[in-house]
């Protein structure tokens, strides 16, 4: 009887958060390239213990990667720094895929005051990364990034193809990642509610309560990373000296001043989430002409019939009740010289819908199934009544979220090799 009651309650919870999808997938398969999923802020991947019982991709709705593998897709879930900058995360992603030691770059590490090298991955996350098939052709990858993961995969692709001038000048011992010329490794990039142009929730001057909340989270994560709980959910901040490296135990020299230094620097996820930080990242990141780009955005707010103001929908994750309302009522018309209009108020809980469409200054067009182009953002229809964690499958209808990812992967797999 107890099991039946639990089953009924679960169905009710999942039913409340069901949604209508507006995605497309071609029936014919054009390639068999593997998929690499990259999580967002404070996320995790298959290297961490938490993923065994609560996968980031399918948190309460079932393991999405395992489902996709049963559908015939080759799927890998990366595990990069949960609180780190897009640059540091991109470097970690490369090391995982290639099976090597993380190199944050000599120039970058000196500029931001942290160690140049990170942890070592003895085996590549994706065994075929950078390899060729029997015909001598590169076995490419399809990248899918949620939230900060979307910014991460964009920068990752840009560095693979174009390298970094500062790192090339810094010395002879330059990581292959910074040399460029590897853009052919990537077939497609799909971003899911990525803060391409930043998030208004990161405006700490306007909303100090959010700034306090973020600082508190960083302190908590830093402390937990110096306990035996680290293997379960590792935030990966050892290059800043906040924790020991994985093989060195759990007695890192946690220092609150270091947390403040990290948060106030330009080398953290928090800075990259700001409108200013995102604009600087957009100047650095370049698109690849031979890669397909797709972006998904979402909204989970409604207009009050009397006031005309925007409010979070009842189905929005309660976690966003601190962030969504300030975005809904944001009244500044510019931020760091960047124009902010009323369209920025529509959001999914933490990211404005228009920020997730495409990075400012990059070419884009609405998705057209009959005219898919490379080197341009194919902007998918907005996911309505869909909040930021629905992409993770947090209390999301398990049937619908599986259908969504099957169609996302189906679209990328339908593209010519």
What residues act catalytically? 147, 348, 388
* Contact of 232 with 246, CB cutoff 8 Å: no
* Contact of 116 with 109, CB cutoff 8 Å: yes
Q: Indicate the DSSP class of residue 299.
A: E
Q: How far apart are CA 408 and CA 143, in angstroms?
A: 11
Place of tokens 């409108």: 275
- How far from 170 is each of 118, 156, 242, 266, 281, CA to CA, in Å? 18, 20, 26, 20, 21
* Residues 6+ positions from 217 with CB-CB distance below 8 Å: 42
Of 233, 194, 196, the closest CA to residue 217 belongs to: 233
Question: Could you tell me the two tokens for 249?
Answer: 């135990």
* Contact of 353 with 388, CB cutoff 8 Å: no
Angle at 62 between CA 56 and CA 65, to 5 degrees: 60
DSSP code per residue over 130-151: T-B-TTS-B--EEEEEETHHHH
163-196 b/e (C-beta count within 10 Å ≥ 16 → b):
bbeebeebeeebbebbebebbebbbbbbbbbbbb
* Contact of 267 with 114, CB cutoff 8 Å: yes
* Contact of 86 with 240, CB cutoff 8 Å: no
Q: How far apart are CA 319 and CA 197, in angstroms?
A: 22
* Contact of 234 with 48, CB cutoff 8 Å: yes
Of 93, 111, 113, 100, the closest CA to residue 45 belongs to: 93
Q: How far apart are CA 323 and CA 41, in angstroms?
A: 15
- How far from 266 is each of 57, 87, 280, 284, CA to CA, in Å? 28, 10, 10, 14
Beta-strand pair 35-38/141-146:
parallel
Of 37, 9, 39, the closest CA to residue 395 belongs to: 9
């Amino acid at each position: 009887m107890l099991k039946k009651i639990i089953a009924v309650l679960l169905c009710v919870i999942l039913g409340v958060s069901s949604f209508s999808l507006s995605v497309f997938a071609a029936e014919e398969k054009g390639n068999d390239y593997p998929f690499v999923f990259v999580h967002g802020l404070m996320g995790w991947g298959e290297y961490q213990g938490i993923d065994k019982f609560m996968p980031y991709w399918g948190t309460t709705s079932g393991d999405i990667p395992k489902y996709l593998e049963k559908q015939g897709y080759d799927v890998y879930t990366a595990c990069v720094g949960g609180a780190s900058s897009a640059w540091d995360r991109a470097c970690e992603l490369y090391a995982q895929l290639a099976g090597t030691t993380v190199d944050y770059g000599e120039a970058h590490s000196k500029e931001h005051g942290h160690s140049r090298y990170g942890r070592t991955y003895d085996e590549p996350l994706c065994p075929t990364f950078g390899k060729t098939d029997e015909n001598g052709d590169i076995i490419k990858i399809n990248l899918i990034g949620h939230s900060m993961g979307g910014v991460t995969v964009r920068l990752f692709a840009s560095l693979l193809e174009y390298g970094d001038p500062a790192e090339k000048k810094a010395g002879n011992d330059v990581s292959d990642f910074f040399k460029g010329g590897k853009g052919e490794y990537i077939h497609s990039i799909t971003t899911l509610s990525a803060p391409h142009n930043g998030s208004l929730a990161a405006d700490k001057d306007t909303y100090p309560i959010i700034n306090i909340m973020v600082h508190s989270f960083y302190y908590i994560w830093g402390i937990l990373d110096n306990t035996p709980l680290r293997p379960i959910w590792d935030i990966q901040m050892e290059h800043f000296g906040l924790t020991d490296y994985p093989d060195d135990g759990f007695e890192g020299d946690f220092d609150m001043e270091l947390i403040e230094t990290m948060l106030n620097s330009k080398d953290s996820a928090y800075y990259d989430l700001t409108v200013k930080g995102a604009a600087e990242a957009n100047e650095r990141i370049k698109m690849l002409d031979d890669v397909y780009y797709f972006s998904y955005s979402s909204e989970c707010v409604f207009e009050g019939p009397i006031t005309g103001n925007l409010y979070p929908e009842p189905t929005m994750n309660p976690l966003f009740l601190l962030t969504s309302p300030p975005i809904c009522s944001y009244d500044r018309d510019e931020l760091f010289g960047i124009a902010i209009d009323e369209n920025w108020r529509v959001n999914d809980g933490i990211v404005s819908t228009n920020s997730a469409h495409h990075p400012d200054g990059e070419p884009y067009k609405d998705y057209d199934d009959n005219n898919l182009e490379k080197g341009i953002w194919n902007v998918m229809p907005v996911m309505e009544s869909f909040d930021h964690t629905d992409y993770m499958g947090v209390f999301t209808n398990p049937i619908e979220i599986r259908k969504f990812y099957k169609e996302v992967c189906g679209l990328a797999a339908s593209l010519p090799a």
